[in-house]
Amino acid sequence: MSSGKVVGLVMLKTLVESVGYVYYIAVAKASRMRGIGKLLLEDTMRYFKASSVEEVFASVEEDNEPSEALFASEGFTRTSFSEVSKKHGSLHTLNMYREMLVVPGEVLLRRAIT
C-alpha cells in the first residue's frame, strides 16, 4: 500500500511442506521500477524461510523480461522439468507442475533457501 492505494501484490502457495511457489507478483504500472517488486519478493523469501520452506519456484512467460529480471535480482535461476525430477522424481514433479499451472511458453525459476 502507498498513500492508501494498493501498489503491488504477491500471491503465494506452499506446494508441499518444504516447497514454496510464487503464484503471481505484480506492481501497478505507475509504481514500477522503484523497488516495490523487490520488496515484495524479499518479504516472500522471509515468509517462506520462517515457514521452513527449503526451495521456492516461480514461473514466468519466456519473454517477460521485467519479471525474470526481478526474480534474477533475488537469486532465482532457470530450471527445467528434468532437473526438478532428479530431486523430486517425475511423478511428484508432474504433480507440482500441475499445481503451479506451468504452461508451454513459460519458464520455471528456482531458488534454494539456505
Site string for ligand COA, 55-94 (x = CB under 6 A): -----x---xxxx-xx--x---------------------
Contact status, residue 9 vs residue 1, Cβ threshold 8 Å: no
Rounded CA gap, 106 and 101, in Å?
10
**Interface with ligand COA in residues 31-50 (CB under 6 A):** 32-38
The stretch among 18-26, 45-53, 77-85, 95-103 that binds ligand COA (CB under 6 A) is 18-26
Contact status, residue 55 vs residue 90, Cβ threshold 8 Å: no
Encoded amino acid at 30, one letter = A
Q: Which residues in this chain contact ligand COA in the complex, by CB under 6 A?
A: 24-27, 32-38, 60, 64-67, 69-70, 73
